Amino acid sequence: MDTTLPQAILLLSLNDKTGKTEDGYYQPALAGAAIADLLLHRAIEFQAEDGTLVPLRHMRSMGAFLDQCDAVIGAASKAREISYWISELANQKDAIATIADELCHLGALSKEKTTMFGLFSRTVWPEASPVLESTLKAEMAAARFEGNDPVEERLCLAIGLSKSVDLLKHNFDPDLLSQHQARIDSICKGDCLHSDATEAVVQAVQAALEAAQAKEAIEHSFE
């Protein structure tokens, strides 16, 4: 993968023409992607005994969004569980704009201002070049649809996080997804993950999604 995990999730979330996010709960996946990337960079550590994340000392930059998430976790007064950080990081202001700007610098997106109803302006990020996203999708497709070879962990996480927030159906042929459901389920269950930490991230994102859907259902029942 030539992108960070949050960049990969955002690329799959944006409509190439309109530059707007597809419908769905993609924010938990962006937060989970950030945590997973920080774990892979060894910027944070997962404590298996209590399920918390602990910041580790380091001086390197991992990009604007990952650095921002790393700083938030590092500033906490005490260690917190992954589920807490999924919720906290998913609600960060300008998270999408920060990741989108990274992708603009990589040449994948362009930044445009649009007007809604002639009154409200908003920023959108339509596709500038298909190369980065096409490469990502090709790697994801090869992992899911071609054989049973081991999957590189970052790619495995991209697939698992995408499936957890229903992004796969927006990006891949439904028939192929159906034909290879067993392989996809195996990847998403963590069979290709190398640590309890990254598996816990995918599970926490799924739990956050289910909680958001349950909350929405309750709110609609009172309308």
Q: What stretch of H or E contains 47? A: strand 44-47
Three-state DSSP class for residue 222: coil
Cβ count near 52 (within 10 Å): 18
The 10s digit of each residue's pLDDT in 10-25 is 999 998 998 888 665 6
CA distance 158 to 167: 10
Nearest Cα neighbor of 26 from 209, 171, 196, 178 is: 209
The 10s digit of each residue's pLDDT in 52-107 is 889 998 888 999 999 999 999 999 999 998 888 988 898 888 899 999 999 999 99
